[in-house]
Amino acid sequence: MSRVIRASPEVVYEYAADVGNLPAWAAGLAQAEVVRDGDALLVESPMGRVEVRFVERNRFGVLDHDVRLPSGTVVTNPVRVLSHPEGAEVVFTVRQIELDDDEFARDVRLVEADLERLGHRIDQRD
């Protein structure tokens, strides 16, 4: 799924890559303050406490991150911030791992809401 945000890809990437901003827009992942544990982030999520590891900051708009679920399963979430004629497009691949169809549909709705919040937060900055 994706969402176009009327801001430059650089602005969108910098805001989304700042883990301190996660609770403000990524409620599907972080519902409270992010706790750093070395290069991992510990967050309270709708799935329980999870460990998150993002790729290093880069100039390509890649925000991929691994989420270690409470079960121990690691889910890789591919995320890209791409140039778009209207600004930037954030593309998030949602995977159905350890989820039944209803849980997957809920997860998709959470990611859609997160991308909407991300766009709204960035719009408010201007």
Give the domain CATH number at 70: 3.30.530.20
- What is the residue type of 41? L
Residues 6+ apart with CB under 8 A from 112: 1, 3
Closest among 53, 29, 31, 32 to 41, alpha carbons compared: 53
What percent of the chain is modeled with pLDDT above 70? 99
Q: Which residue has the tokens 């890559």?
A: 17
Per-residue confidence at 126, pLDDT binned at 50, 70, 90?
Answer: low
User: For the segment 27-73, what is each residue's pLDDT rounded down to a tens digit?
Assistant: 888 888 899 999 899 999 888 899 999 999 999 999 999 999 999 99
Query: Phi-psi region for residue 43, left (φ > 0), alpha (ψ -120 to 50) or beta?
Result: beta
The structural domain count of the chain equals 1
| Domain of residue 111, residue span | 2-125
pTM for the full predicted model: 0.91
Distance between CA atoms of residues 61 and 16, nearest Å: 10
